[in-house]
């Protein structure tokens, strides 16, 4: 993408104003304004922009670097100027999970959010802000920050539910029949789950730190909402662990299925060969060139031979069937 | 289901009165009454009803949402208006475990319980309440709340015992013989155990929080009963972990059994083929057209040939038997 | 069993008196006596007896229930009237571990013990009590309680040692040869170990609580003896964990052994067949009816044929042997 | 290597001076100098040199030994004279990880570093020191120590990223085809990961101790930078654990792939044999010497025979194909 | 062994005196002497001797029993008379680890050590004591106790290093070829590692307790030396865990190797049989007795037949080779 885009939302209980800004200088007014401001920055590739914003809002130099390096583990840094939070926002499309790093900087009256690319999961929050009766409008920006975290974590739970449904579909498929493609699929899900786990688990620590953080930037009033975040992320981590076990079970199930199928085929083929072995032996006996083989000279010898062969073959099949080998 | 049903039970040491109520407004009197009240709400699909009750009894808005979302992890939320508890009540029918969410709201003189559908495990508590000599009648509603939790957890233990008996039945079955259907059964139990574990384990954390919770809504007098809850849920969690291991052992046992059975069959078939191989070879030798094969011209050649074949075949069988290959 | 039996032992530094009592009323004197008393109740099936004793000695109603329900997890309950301890006493006979629940109620000058059936591991304690020079005689009943726990835990260690010796015997057996019966044996030991573990592990928590319990019912003087209990139970739990790993190793060893044995057999049989395949082919060649096959007409053709067959067969065996396939 | 080399860097906000020193005596001036000094000692094989430096800077005798024994677990020792830190610096060349022990001794105005051999990862720090505007120049030597730790830990992350990329390459390779060489490769990576883990995990404890250490040798000002170290090392340890799981998955994948390939081959070969078995049987039938076999005398018998053989063979192939056995 | 031997070493900064004593009474003087005394008792089979020493030095009766029971878990008991430490001293000879229990009793000016049999790892300490310049001479007996623990733990590390080298040798051997003897070897190492782990892991807890123990018997001055003990034992425990994983990897590697080898053999044998199947079929065809088989009458029929057989056989081999089945 080419250009950093900045969206500034200023709101009070009674009014709301959302504007797109072209340059960093235009948003600086929000710091002194009495209104609550949400500055949503999309695009983190321009160090100059980040540095400019960072300096103005007092973001620690290390957190400025964190904003720009997009493979951060979710974490919370508390400094005297504000609260820095970073975590991964996930997208799940066509069996493939991708992540986009979201950084939040929470300071007096201002919440800054930094995203990598256009498109996010924050639309429900934007709609609630538009609604004059919503609680979000009447509260400080710390409530807004929690609302954003909540949509990200709810999205985890949503993705995990789809993930779980797909695993159950695979299981049902597996119980019906086995093929090599399933192994690739299971392996693919394992990989995606590693990815998910890497994004989701650190968020639990983040939320625990958030619960402990006593700071002027997070009002005590919001404790139940942080507890709610905590409930959701614990549920997400539980699901991740559950799906890991399910995937291992699926691997075992696939292995059992494959083995059983192969063994079944080999067994049938072996039984088939075994039935013919004595038949061929008998044919061999009457192919010997002994001078005195009385059966050979009998008028119906050949037909009796055929009859014996058929009887022996059928007897063997019946026997194998009775022992459950076919 | 169509309609929310509300059952109001008012009791003191000396009297008890149970009534079905049609509308929320009829139960509101219980808050100011001097008697203890148990309001049992069945049906949580009508947000209007929940909101009305919630507002009147001061249930936090997030807990109101928890009541209505039926996939909650067991938890306890302590607020200034009361104590919110949510957990899953289990049912075990025909090898299938299903869950129904139960929410409790414990406040001064009033206990509210919310269930999804008619039918629960609370009948023993209702009977004890009817009995004028029961301890439940003389105590506050916090004792009643513990009694309800106790019946739910006892039900877990009961289900786990049935589960354990069924696993032992499978094990005995497995030690006798192996078939593919057992794999499906074991897999099915694994799935049910995942479900059970997901419901039961968080309840342990809930009970630990309950033990720590120092609140006006839970009298110190009840500590031994909470300790009793704790003993039961720890026992339930122990069983869940034990059954997980047992299921893994059963999987291994099934795999061993299947492998041994298949190997046994293949071994028998192979031994059978091997016995015929030299016999067929000898027949082939006397089927060759060499001009001078002295055995062919002997008068009893054919009979000696047959005798040799039989002797060789039996010798091989005896040998394989002696090496324990049959 | 039919009847509850009660044995009352009263002792001071200078005297000891052991009597069998028929009814609960006869033991009640011990509470006011200046002597130390050990009341050993065998048989817990009569709720009336337990209730009567419980009320007299101030045992909490929940602990009365615990005494009668014989599947309790080991635990310690501290109340103002006394200290309640419950754990499982184990018996190991003919490869089968059975448990008997023992409850202790420790109060001023009195120790009550409750067993399910006659027969226990307490004889060494009884003998020490008879000895006027033993420390047990000069101390309070809390020392006696610790001595009883000590014999129970020592018995765990003793059983685990026998268990370990039997596992080593199985291992040696396995390294020599493999059979299906071993799988049943290993599986049986797994089941017994699950049982052992379920009884032994909670006792560790019990002892930790005992170390922490600051109570008038347990003198500080006894701290080294409780530490000693702790050392023994930690050793027992260590052994349990070790044996779990050993059993898993034995399972793997058995699987390897079985696979190797089966593969060995299949390999030998396959080599056997392979040796005959070209021999039979050659016999087939000389069984063809081509008009001009020069070998057939040679005077020693048949003998050369046999010689060639034998040479080829032996060459193949030598080759397979040299490649270590036989 | 032959000789210990010592590099002394003295710097203030305004000046910097780097010199190579030949003997220990030449560096002793730095202790009393007002400037910050970094003494970088390369070569730890000469106990005399270490003892001389150690005594002058007050390094504890045990830490002097730690400096010389090159298989130390990462750790931090706080004494009254200074702070001792030891950890392993890693190198990753041609699929082989090697380690070099780095010891740091942080005391007033002086930082000593000890390396085994020439060559390290500290060049970025040296460059920053040269830059008069860099933060490193204006701060005390504790900031320099953190900067050195940071480059070492960043190097871990860098190596782990390459490691991860190589594992993914192996996985893709595995999903395409399987060979025995892959097993060696996976095993080799397992060994390297054991090595990595042994070096990396203790560093996490080191950093935790660093965060807790309240000492005059580490200014509170640097807390965000230590937090940054902590974030990086946690990320590294996460990756190590992830790669362990991935390697286990790769092992399983390889095993599945190998099994499937072998089974595939065996299946094809078995089907091939099975097709010929009835054909050979029929040929055997018409090789018998019965006097009256009507088919033999028919003018087109031989051609009909061939046609029948071909039809039967094709029918079997079609059947096996339709059952997905080929 | 027959007799308890007692060695008494009395030392001050300036003098040292080592004597063998025949009876317990001769060592009793050391308690009142101003010098530091190390009483090294070899042989713990005589309860009378232990009781006599124990009473004189105030060793708790339970610790006296610990000294005599040689299967103690490493532990530390702090009493008012002194500090009791017990742990296992290991010996590694011919692939077999054996342990000898060492008890230490640390009290004012006296250190008692109890060993089972003659021969120990304490010679380096004895030599340091002989050296008048050694730190050990100038310090109290608590330093001596730490020095003894240090030699025991260093010996663990030494044994573990040899263990690790042997595991690497097995791994290299395994990567070259597989045989059944390796399985026995790996199993043997597993057993030895269980033993090692049982001895080594409790020592970590012992050292942690030692670090926490605030007692007059252990001077604060020695804290760095206890920290050093701690570093070494953590390293030992790390190695034990690493070797457990390595042994599991070796088991898997062996299993893979064995499977691959068996499969390889079966594959080659199967390919061999498959090549002959069509050849034998063709021979069978020309062994039929149809009256009109034109090929049979052709003058070079037999030679064409042979040529066709050889061409078909070679074509099959080439095809199998090209598909990488040989």
Cβ of D283 and E284 within 8 Å? yes
Alpha-carbon span E117 to C131, nearest angstrom: 35
Nearest to E63 by CA among E27, E24, E104: E104
Cβ of D249 and A183 within 8 Å? no
Alpha-carbon span A54 to D299, nearest angstrom: 101
Question: How far is E250 from chain D, CA to nearest CA, in Å?
Answer: 10
CA distances from D130 to A65, D135, E324 (A): 22, 11, 61
Which residues of chain D lie closer than 8 angstroms to E242, CB-CB? 194, 198
**β-strands E36-42, E110-115: how paired?**
parallel
First to last CA, chain B: 64
Tell me A140's DSSP state: -
Cβ of B279 and A281 within 8 Å? yes
Which residues of chain E lie closer than 8 angstroms to C153, CB-CB? none
Taking the mean position of all CA atoms in its chain, how far away is CA C100? 14
Taking the mean position of all CA atoms in its chain, how far away is CA B93? 10
For E167, name the nearest residue in chain D, comparing CA atoms only.
D191
Burial C68-105 (b: 16+ CB within 10 A, else e): beeebbbbbbbbeebbbbbbbbbebeeeebebebbbbb
- Walk along chain A (326 residues) and give the pLDDT tens digit of each residue: 568 899 999 998 888 999 998 888 888 877 777 789 999 999 998 899 999 999 999 999 999 999 999 989 999 998 888 999 999 999 988 878 999 999 999 998 899 999 999 988 999 999 999 988 888 888 889 999 999 999 999 999 999 999 999 999 999 999 888 888 898 899 999 999 999 999 999 999 999 999 888 677 788 778 889 999 999 999 999 999 999 999 999 998 998 888 888 888 888 888 888 999 999 999 999 999 998 899 998 888 999 999 999 999 999 999 999 988 87
CA distances from B299 to A124, B279, B305 (A): 103, 21, 11
Alpha-carbon span B270 to B267, nearest angstrom: 5
The label of the residue with tokens 């939302």 reads A9
Alpha-carbon span B163 to E194, nearest angstrom: 34
Q: Chains that contact E by 3+ CB pairs under 8 Å?
A: C, D
CA distances from E119 to A269, E5, E90, E123, E130 (A): 67, 12, 11, 9, 19
**Which pLDDT belongs to residue E26?**
83
Which residues of chain C lie closer than 8 angstroms to B249, CB-CB? 187, 190
Cβ of C73 and B238 within 8 Å? yes
Which residues of chain A lie closer than 8 angstroms to D242, CB-CB? 194, 198
Interface of E with C in 51-90 (CB under 8 A): 60, 62, 72-73, 75, 77, 79
Which residues of chain D lie closer than 8 angstroms to E290, CB-CB? 286, 295-296, 301-302, 305
C253 pLDDT exceeds 80? yes
pLDDT confidence band for D156 (50 / 70 / 90): very high
Please provide the DSSP assignment of C209-250 as one string: HHHH--BTTB-GGGHHHHHHHHHHHHHHHHHHHHHHHHHHHH
H or E segment to which residue A113 belongs: strand A110-115
Which residues of chain B lie closer than 8 angstroms to C184, CB-CB? 175
Taking the mean position of all CA atoms in its chain, how far away is CA B15? 40
Cβ of B279 and A280 within 8 Å? no
Mutation site for C-interface testing, chosen from E58, E199, E200, E302 by largest number of C Cβ within 10 Å: E302
SS3 C92: strand
H or E segment to which residue B89 belongs: strand B83-93
Contact E197, E244 (CB under 8 A): yes
The mean pLDDT of D256-279, rounded to a whole number, is 87
pTM above 0.90, yes or no: no
**Which pLDDT belongs to residue D1?**
57
Range name among A61-70, B30-39, C6-15, D108-117 with the lowest pLDDT average: B30-39
Burial class (CB within 10 angstroms; exposed 0-12, middle 13-18, buried 19+) of C289:
middle
D247 pLDDT exceeds 70? yes
H or E segment to which residue A90 belongs: strand A83-93
Which residue spans within C58-170 are E strands per DSSP?
A: 75-78, 83-93, 96-107, 110-115
Question: How far is A70 from chain D, CA to nearest CA, in Å?
Answer: 13
Contact D67, D75 (CB under 8 A): no
**β-strands C5-11, C36-42: how paired?**
antiparallel
D227 in contact with A, Cβ within 8 Å? yes
Number of Cβ within a 10 Å radius of residue C302? 21
B285 in contact with C, Cβ within 8 Å? yes
pLDDT in tens, E106-125: 998 899 999 999 988 999 99
Q: Which of E183, E272, E280 sits opposite C256 (nearest CB)?
A: E183
Alpha-carbon span C312 to C144, nearest angstrom: 84
**Which pLDDT belongs to residue E1?**
57
Alpha-carbon span A77 to A100, nearest angstrom: 19
Alpha-carbon span D109 to D104, nearest angstrom: 13
Mean pLDDT, chain C, rounded, equals 90
Mutation site for D-interface testing, chosen from A73, A243, A280 by largest number of D Cβ within 10 Å: A280
The label of the residue with tokens 């720590």 reads B212
| Six-digit token string for C192 | 């017994």
* pLDDT under 50: residue ranges of chain E: none
pLDDT confidence band for C115 (50 / 70 / 90): very high
A287 in contact with B, Cβ within 8 Å? yes
E266 in contact with C, Cβ within 8 Å? yes
Alpha-carbon span B198 to B203, nearest angstrom: 9
Q: Chains that contact C by 3+ CB pairs under 8 Å?
A: B, E
| Six-digit token string for D264 | 């595939």
Range name among B146-160, D90-104, D258-272 with the lowest pLDDT average: D258-272
For E326, name the nearest residue in chain D, comparing CA atoms only.
D265
Question: How far is E228 from chain C, CA to nearest CA, in Å?
Answer: 26
**Which pLDDT belongs to residue D225?**
92
| Six-digit token string for B144 | 């009643």
Range name among A109-118, B161-170, B317-326, D111-120 with the lowest pLDDT average: B317-326
Question: How far is E281 from chain D, CA to nearest CA, in Å?
Answer: 5
Which residues lie below 8 Å from residue A231, measured CB to CB, with a gap of 6+?
B72, B73, B75
The label of the residue with tokens 């051999």 reads D117
pLDDT in tens, B73-99: 999 998 888 999 999 999 988 878 999
E231 in contact with D, Cβ within 8 Å? yes
For A181, name the nearest residue in chain D, comparing CA atoms only.
D175
| Six-digit token string for C232 | 């023994």
| Six-digit token string for B220 | 């110190």
Alpha-carbon span E326 to E319, nearest angstrom: 10
Which residues of chain B lie closer than 8 angstroms to A270, CB-CB? 266, 269-270
Interface of C with B in 300-319 (CB under 8 A): 300-302, 305-306, 309
D216 pLDDT exceeds 70? yes
First to last CA, chain C: 64
Interface of E with C in 244-263 (CB under 8 A): 251, 255, 258-259, 262
Alpha-carbon span A41 to A6, nearest angstrom: 5
Which residue spans within E33-155 are E strands per DSSP?
A: 36-42, 75-78, 83-93, 96-107, 110-115
| Domains, in order of start, for chain A | 5-257 (3.30.460.20), 258-322 (1.20.58.340)
Mean pLDDT, chain B, rounded, equals 90
């Amino acid at each position: 993408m080419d250009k950093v885009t900045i969206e500034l939302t200023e709101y009070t209980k009674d009014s709301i104003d959302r504007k797109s800004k072209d340059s960093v200088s235009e948003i600086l007014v929000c710091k002194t304004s009495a209104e609550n401001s949400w500055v949503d920055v999309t695009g983190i590739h321009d160090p100059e922009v980040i540095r400019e914003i960072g300096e103005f809002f007092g973001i620690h130099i290390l957190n400025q670097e964190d904003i720009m390096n997009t493979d951060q583990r979710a974490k919370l840094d508390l400094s005297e100027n504000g609260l820095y939070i970073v975590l991964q926002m996930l997208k799940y499309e066509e069996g493939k999970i991708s992540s986009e790093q979201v950084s939040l900087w929470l300071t007096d009256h201002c919440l800054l959010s930094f995203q990598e690319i256009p498109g996010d999961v924050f639309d429900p929050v934007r709609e609630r802000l538009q609604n004059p009766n919503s609680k979000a409008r009447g509260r400080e920006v710390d409530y807004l920050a929690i609302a954003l975290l909540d949509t990200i974590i709810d999205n985890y739970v949503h993705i995990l539910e789809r993930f779980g449904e797909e695993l159950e579909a695979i299981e049902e498929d597996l119980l019906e029949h086995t093929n090599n493609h399933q192994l690739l699929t299971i392996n693919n899900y394992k990989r995606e789950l590693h990815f998910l786990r890497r994004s989701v688990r650190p968020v639990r620590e983040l939320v625990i730190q958030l619960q402990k953080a006593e700071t002027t930037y997070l009002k005590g009033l919001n404790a139940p909402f942080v507890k709610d975040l905590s409930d959701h992320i614990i549920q997400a981590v539980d699901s991740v662990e559950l799906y890991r076990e399910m995937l291992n079970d699926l691997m075992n199930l696939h292995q059992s299925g494959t083995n059983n199928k192969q063994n079944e085929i080999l067994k049938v083929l072996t039984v088939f060969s075994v039935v013919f072995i004595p038949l061929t032996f008998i044919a061999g006996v009457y192919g010997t060139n002994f001078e005195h083989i009385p059966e050979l000279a009998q008028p119906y010898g050949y037909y009796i031979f055929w009859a014996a062969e058929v009887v022996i073959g059928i007897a063997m099949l019946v026997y194998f069937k009775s022992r459950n080998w076919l």
